[in-house]
Amino acid sequence: LFLTKSRINLRDMKNTNHLISMFYRAFRDLRRLQSLLAKNSPRQEVDSNNNTQHHTKAECVDILITDPTNHLTLLPICVITYRDQRCFSSHPLHELFSHILVSLIKNRLCSEWIEHAPPESVLRVLICLRLLIRDPHYQKILHELQGISLLARYMESVTALYMSCGEQAFATQKLVTMTYIFQKLSATQDQRVWVIESGAHRVSDNFVLRLKTVTVPKNKAQNHSHSDRQYITDRSSIEALSSANATGRIQREHMREELSPQEVVDNTIALQSACCTALTEMSLDDTSAHHIVQENGIYIIAKLIIPCDSGQTITSLQCYAFRALRFLFSVERNRHLFKRLFPTDLFELFIDVGHYVRDLAAYEGLQTKVSLYTKEELDNLRGGIETVDQNRPPLRVISGYSVLDHLGTGAFGSVFKVQKQSGQNILALKEVNLHNPAFGKDKKSRDSNVEKIISELTIIKEQMTHPNIVKYYRTFLEGDKLYIVMELIEGVPLAEHFNSLKEKQQQFTEERLWNIFIQMSLALRYLHKEKRIVHRDLTPNNIMLGEKDKVTITDFGLAKQKEENSKLTSVVGTILYSCPEIVKNEPYGEKADIWALGCILYQMATLQPPFYSSNMLSLASKIVEADYEPIEEGTFSERVIDMIKWCLNPDPDLRPDIIAVSSRISDLMMKLMDGLYTSQNSLERKAERDRKRAQKFFLERDKIRVTCSYSNMSQVNSDL
């Protein structure tokens, strides 16, 4: 028993001595590192670095490891030894760690040392700095010593050098390490203001944007072979730059660092908040806002407003999500979706925020309202969110067409987004209620009018093919409903652009105005002169603007094909855009569409219709006399004003036809055609390059197959 106890005591004594020895070595190494960092002599390091350039790589490693006076040796040892340490302020050697951090900031980061030191030395300092600021207390020290702003300034200089001169020694690793440091600092809500004040976020955004503008065209132009993909991504990757010395070992350990579960959650929430902010800014452009909605953006963002934790970061994320949704709601076209999304009480608060309000504090009331919801109310909110999911099962099926969404309702019926069950194409389906009084009061007149409409639509469907006119595919009857299948136009009605610009207190530029007007003129020339069709209901609601303001004229439900030199007599269309002949119930022709074209041009210039009154008699009088408010001087050229005056001539004989209108803007049309031909030639050249690349690929593949077959046959013959 005595011998056993003696062995145990001896073992404990050895363990204690071992721990004391380890502690002493750690203390000695850290003290030595502190004393070396206290010196501010970049020139010595440059000379030392130059002296090692004549040695082999292995000799350089030996020199670094065996040189105790070089802090390049001790920094890697420190990083590797304490790579699992997260709270340095509670470590037994916390005073030494604190002194080392202060020395790194004052004598390396905040001095001229960083401008003259070798890139490898700077990288090791940054990696050690990143290790130490895992501790929240040390993050505050970095801020108090102005280290964050100086680090942001150095990051800006490295970024500028990288973009102007390309890859420099260790530049990639330095940028990655500094990005991780700022990411760590941004993980806490209260500390994000430090990063914002330093300007690091602007440096990162500019770098990413410039990098994408350089690499994306390059990626598209390069051959998509494996070797080329390696070159495009980064021929000198981080691992390739990490050599067999201590820097390489640090970098690999550094890149494999695992975040704590809470850090993962915080980083995810920060990323989601940043995405919401980006989508918010994109929503200022109506076309971008439409794309966000088309890609199921409302559903994805709305899921973020459901509370899943009471933490401050979750609360902040909900406000970011509400703001993104409110910006999307400001686009009039999207508003019908939100009526299904929110319950009445929340919807009222949502509307009261106002359009395009960036201040997050304005959305705290919405977040508070949701946080106080009962379980039943939260379930109802979740149900509303699910109704806007574009990937949900079809609402119903109509004659083989799956109804995906309800796009809107007009005077004669509703329009749905549909997909043919036997195909993948997305189409628009217009549902017309035949019991509408406009089709007749009794069954006989109703059937007669419906037959005429189907006949007219059939003619239009068979005859019209123009890039600025909607494509009709088929019409059919089912029960007491008439269905019209047509092309789905991915765009926004011109009327919604008017409303959006008024809310933003903006207006059309003259270049954009003429671009839209020219496309409408091209479509009307095709209708009037080639197909002898009068639209009869040309309004901003029936003109769709797609990407890059591509115009598509829609809704030919009132269109009429007329005989040459004949006149139409039926009173149809929207009175705000109806010509004097229609208002006076006189025969009219294709110049009715010219009047409407002039009204739309006026509204593009002023964002108001030329003729408007709540009194129908007064409105009719204004139209007949062409009495409208003149356009304010200086806002647009005389050319715009003269064109409006010409198209809005109350005398149809003096009003121009579409050929005369086009001849007056022939120079603008020729300029537009030049741009189109240039774009077409560019696309043709790209298509030819792609064709040759594909042809080369298939030829080489076939050649390899033939070679392999020949080799196999030779092997068989030799075996025989």
Active site residues: 537
Helices (H), 464-590: 494-504, 510-525, 580-583
CA–CA distance, 388 with 293 (Å, rounded to integer): 10
- Torsion sign over Cα 491, 495, 497, 500: negative
Contacting residues for 124 by C-beta, under 8 A, at least 6 apart: 72, 75, 76, 79, 247, 250
Question: Helices 136-144 and 94-103: crossing angle, nearest 10°?
Answer: 30
State both tokens at 356: 């395009």
State both tokens at 508: 């059309």
CA–CA distance, 599 with 625 (Å, rounded to integer): 14
CA–CA distance, 474 with 420 (Å, rounded to integer): 13
What is the amino acid identity at position 503?
Answer: E
Q: End-to-end distance of the chain based on CA atoms, in angstroms?
A: 82
Q: In whole angstroms, how far apart are CA 510 and each of 514, 517, 622, 637, 639?
A: 6, 10, 27, 8, 10
DSSP per-residue codes, 242-271: --SSHHHHHHHHHHTPPPPHHHHHHHHHHH
State both tokens at 114: 């960083």
Q: Which long-range contacts (CB under 8 A, 24 or more apart) does 17-21 make?
A: none
CA–CA distance, 37 with 680 (Å, rounded to integer): 63
Closest CA to 223 of 697, 568, 596, 710: 697
DSSP reduced 3-state for 187: coil
Count Cβ neighbours within 10 Å for each residue of 431-449 and write b for 16 or more, e otherwise. bbebeeeebbeeeeebeee
What is the amino acid identity at position 13?
Answer: M
Eight-class DSSP state of 304: G
CA–CA distance, 542 with 545 (Å, rounded to integer): 10
DSSP reduced 3-state for 134: coil
State the residue for tokens 């109703």. Answer: 446
Q: 398 forms bridges with which residues in the sheet?
A: 401
Q: In whole angstroms, how far apart are CA 616 and each of 112, 410, 530, 577, 578?
A: 79, 21, 36, 13, 13
State the residue for tokens 């803007």. Answer: 665
CA–CA distance, 510 with 384 (Å, rounded to integer): 42
Q: Output phi, psi for 542, to 5 deg.
A: -105, 10
CA–CA distance, 229 with 622 (Å, rounded to integer): 66
Q: Strands, DSSP E only, in 345-504?
A: 396-398, 401-409, 413-420, 426-433, 472-478, 481-487, 492-493
CA–CA distance, 152 with 206 (Å, rounded to integer): 13
